[in-house]
Structure 1
Amino acid sequence: MFGKTFVDQYVVVTGGGTGIGRATALAFAEQGAAGVIITGRRGAALEEVAAEHEALIPVVADVTTPEGADAVVAAVSELGGQLDVLVHNAGIFRNTPLDDLGADAVREQLEVNVIGPVLLTGRLLPLLREGGNIVLVSSISARLAGAGSSVYSASKAAVDSLIRSWAVELGPKRIRVNGVAPGQVETPILGSGGVSPEAVQDWYSVYAASAPAGRIGKAAEVSSWITRLAEPASSWITGEIITMDGGKLLV
């Protein structure tokens, strides 16, 4: 199905146990990557994904902490100390009205969605080879207002800023930085944010009805663009954020 675009390359995918992270890790593995480190907090989910391809390497780590980031660095070092692609996919969503927001709810989303990518990138930068790639998963929520999602939207706007700033800062090192901004995708993120299964389906239906494409997205559709941004054919693209939302932002 896939070409062997990433032969002999090493990849890190955060949040690799489910959804877009899982699809992305498998896509890199199927395209020939020598090793794909998948990180997350839940070991069972990582082990389940790792069983799907021999190139997948599970590392239980909370990358919002120095200890978690260092565990990922150690895993890369065990593979020879060279990293070719870093994908920041780990993220959380909390649907919380403003009058119910407390410091802990704000802090949790900013830690996972913003602090984690900053901390891990800083730790891994010495191992990221010249010509390497960083891809961050943002969201159309960075540009789309939504009741109850103000902190999530703010965190993704920060991710967009990281993409552009890092592209400028790391360009002289010949490291490219890009992102994808999906709309509603069928992943566990809404349910993990405290939304009931019935409400999740309602959410999907409302989104599908309002998007020109008439449906929500699939994780594999997002992962295909993550790998595309990291491949040699995209070597003149940096600082870009690919919107993939079925046209939602157009209406």
Structure 2
Amino acid sequence: MDDLKNKVAVITGGNSGIGYATAKQLKEQGATIIITGRRKEAIEKAASELGVTAIVADQSNVGDTENLVAKVKQDFGHVDILFINAGITTKGNIEEATEELFDSVMDINFKGAYFTLSRFIPILKDGASVVFLSSNTASMSYAGTSIYSSSKAGLNSVVKIAALELAPRKIRVNSVSPGPTETEIMKKMGLDEAAVKTLMSAIVDTIPLKQMGTTKDVAKMVSHLSSDASKFITGADFIMDGGMVLA
């Protein structure tokens, strides 16, 4: 399990959920891990638990990203694995949308992710792997998800173009698109245990495999895309949703 030994990995939004699970997975495989997040207390707590490096940075702020790149370059020299994971979700009909809500989602999910890649390119090592966290909603149409789905669909376009632009340096760019995944987001929505159970049961009914995904499932896919096992894969989107897009 040390196939990522001597690799330097940066994970945005690494203090919880998929980012946290991926940091744990990559560290177990020997990588040196840097996690980032907006909240100092949360990111430092996660880093302490994982035994990794924490750098406070808000992905929606390009200045923060530029400072992050400078710090990583100073302390680590280069980056072998970049997992652009930070993001937020929202629901609401187009008619009811506000400019503030639109900007808050796009600033993190699309603009922030775009400029994270942009600013890290100079310190990506030749042969590096970049993975974006997208979503199966980029390939599906649900009422009330227009802003979130658009932010992820935009990312999927960037993945393909970045894969072409960075191919001369053998840098691979791919995305992972989970469907329903068991994370702390349910608790953050303010639902009690019974409500969470009811909601999860309703979601599982829409999944052909009749189960929720886990953060570890996604972490393993990011790990695969970060390793030499996927050295001939670039510009691809891996949908992990138990068959939802087929149903």
TM-score, length-normalised on structure 1?
0.93
State the shift of 1:69 in Å. Answer: 0.4
**Which residue does 1:31 correspond to in 2?**
29
State the shift of 1:21 in Å. Answer: 0.3
The residue type equivalent to 1:45 in the other structure is A
Contact 1:92 1:189 in 2 (8 A): no
Contact 1:20 1:220 in 2 (8 A): yes
3-state SS of 1:132 partner: strand
Question: Structure 2: which 5+ residue stretches go unaligned?
Answer: none
Alignment of 1:1-251 (within 5 A): 3-33=1-31, 35-54=32-51, 56-189=52-185, 192=188, 194=189, 196-197=191-192, 200-251=196-247
After superposition, the C-alpha distances for 1:60-94 in whole angstroms (9 at most, x for unaligned) are 11122122102311331232321101001101001
Question: Structure 1: which 5+ residue stretches go unaligned?
Answer: none
The residue type equivalent to 1:224 in the other structure is K
After superposition, the C-alpha distances for 1:122-153 in whole angstroms (9 at most, x for unaligned) are 11111001000100011000012122111101
Question: Take 2:72 and 2:47, find their aligned partners in 1: how far apart are those partners?
Answer: 16
RMSD: 1.6
Contact 1:93 1:189 in 2 (8 A): no
State the shift of 1:164 in Å. Answer: 0.9
Contact 2:134 2:178 in 1 (8 A): yes
3-state SS of 1:129 partner: strand
State the shift of 1:200 in Å. Answer: 4.7
State the shift of 1:190 in Å. Answer: 5.2
Contact 2:177 2:237 in 1 (8 A): yes
Contact 2:172 2:234 in 1 (8 A): yes
Question: Take 2:215 and 2:172, find their aligned partners in 1: how far apart are those partners?
Answer: 23
3-state SS of 1:79 partner: helix
The residue type equivalent to 1:58 in the other structure is A
3-state SS of 1:52 partner: helix
Percent same amino acid among aligned pairs? 35
The residue type equivalent to 2:50 in the other structure is H
